[in-house]
Amino acid sequence: GDSAGGSAKQARDREYQAIMPLKGKILNTWEVSSDEVLASQEVHDISVAIGIDPDSDDLSQLRYGKICILADADSDGLHIATLLCALFVKHFRALVKHGHVYV
């Protein structure tokens, strides 16, 4: 989290952008029900940070217009980005459908 997040924090515009570093790999949520997904602290924190609940189509409380996945350019970073994409596609589909997720 800190290696990818450090450079991003320096380059961001604090007025409009926030950085949420993750602590390594998140839970593989592809085969997890939406009821169980929030049991993961990292996933819960992501949900709170973006302002919507898993499986919700209501984006009125969305806190950010763009969610950019920034990961290290190595095999672990690729795996983390894939886990995050799976999370958003499976449990936060409305974000993907409406073009809010960028990789």
Residue 91 clears pLDDT 80, i.e. is over it: yes
Instruction: Return the structure tokens found at 1.
Output: 């989290």
| Residue boundaries of the structural domains of the chain | 2-102
Task: Round to whole Å and give the CA distance between 44 and 61.
Answer: 16
The correct CATH number of 2-102 out of 3.40.50.300, 3.40.50.670, 1.20.1440.230, 3.40.50.620 is 3.40.50.670
Report whether 92 contacts 61 (CB < 8 A).
no
The residues with which 102 forms a beta bridge, in sequence order, are: 68
CA atoms within 13 A on the CB side of 64: 18
pLDDT for position 5:
61
- pTM over 0.75? The answer is yes
Identify the pLDDT of residue 12. 82
Query: Does residue 23 register a pLDDT over 80?
Result: yes
Of the pLDDT bands very low, low, confident and very high (cuts 50, 70, 90), residue 2 is: low
- Residue 13's Cβ-side half-sphere holds a number of Cα atoms within 13 Å equal to 2
* pLDDT tens-digit readout, 27-55: 999 999 988 999 999 999 999 999 999 99
